[in-house]
Structure formats: structure tokens, C-alpha cells
Amino acid sequence: MQQPGEHGVRLTDISDGTSQTFAMGDASAGTSSYLVRSLNDPTQPVLYPLTGQPIKLEQSWSAAGVGDTAHPFYGSVFAVTAQYGLAPDPRDEPMNRRPATPTVFGGDPRGDNRLGRDAVGGFRSLHTNGCNFLFCDGSVHFISQAIRPDVYRALSTYAGGEVISGSDY
């Protein structure tokens, strides 16, 4: 396992299995289908102050969390994860959420977002009812947005120790 401050994940670091770990997924942006949600009211889009028009979400691949084992929820390999959303579990960011979540790092020192200051934009696409994902074994799968949150979260970590099967997704 990598040390704090290192960047990147080796295939040998993926203890959950390369066929059970997302490497990348859809992140559609620049379209009126995905407007930036207000962090104060997640049901409403943010309006640009000068024009009063909703702001379109831009693409972000910068949210990959490849930290040390003391931060187990920072688990993705290359892409954004299924984490850091709203209640009932603050780690869950549903696929294709609209309005969409902007990526905001609020300096949560524990890595589990118990303070609710971090938000990571989730996977999103223009496909109906799901997104395409590249897994670390090189395979590509369409995953339904109706996937169980615990399975979605497990596929988003590379060393979380979760046990899932292909029939779970």
C-alpha cells in the first residue's frame, strides 16, 4: 500500500480485485442536463450572478482519492467515486444526480466526511438510467443507476475489503 503523499495506485495495490474496482466512469458535463446544484439547497441549481442563468457543470477528473489506509473512504483509482453525497449516508453520491454536485474539498481531516464539508461530483452520463465504467481489469460495463448504494460504494474502492459478486451489479 502506498505511503501518505504518494500519488497513484499500482495494480498490486488493488486488493479488492481488478474486476471489482472502478477505474473510470462517465462524467458528462457542459450540458444543460447537468446543472450545478446549490450546496445550500441541493434541490436547486446555482444561478450565475451576472446573468441569472443556471451554471452548467464542468467535467472533473481531479477528485481521485488515493490516500493512505487511514482514509479508507478516499478509495477511487482514477475517477470520482460514489461517495460524499447527502443523507442518509453522507458518503453516497447517486449516479446521474440532477442538479449535479460540484466537487468541493472542505478540508475534512478524517477522510470519512463526518463533518459534511467535502462534496465530490459523482458519475453522470447522457445514457438512460446508468453509466459506463472502465474496471481496473480493462473490462467495460454499463451499471444501472438503480444499483444498491453499498455495492456502488464497494466498486468505488480499491482496498475497502468489501465482498461483492458480478450478480450484485
Q: Which three cell numbers stand for residue 136?
A: 481496473
Specify the higher pLDDT residue, 62 or 29: 29
What's this model's pTM, rounded to 2 decimal places? 0.73
Query: What integer is the mean pLDDT of 33-55?
Result: 88
Query: What integer is the mean pLDDT of 79-96?
Result: 60
> Which spans in the chain are helix H?
149-155
pLDDT digits (tens, 9 = 90+) for 116-138: 666 667 788 899 999 999 999 99
- In this prediction, residue 166 carries a pLDDT of 77
- In this prediction, residue 113 carries a pLDDT of 61
Q: Which three cell numbers stand for residue 25?
A: 466512469
Distance in angstroms (rounded) separating the CA atoms of residues 47 and 64: 27
Distance in angstroms (rounded) separating the CA atoms of residues 36 and 44: 8
Q: Which three cell numbers stand for residue 51?
A: 446573468
The yes-or-no verdict on residue 82 having pLDDT over 70 is no
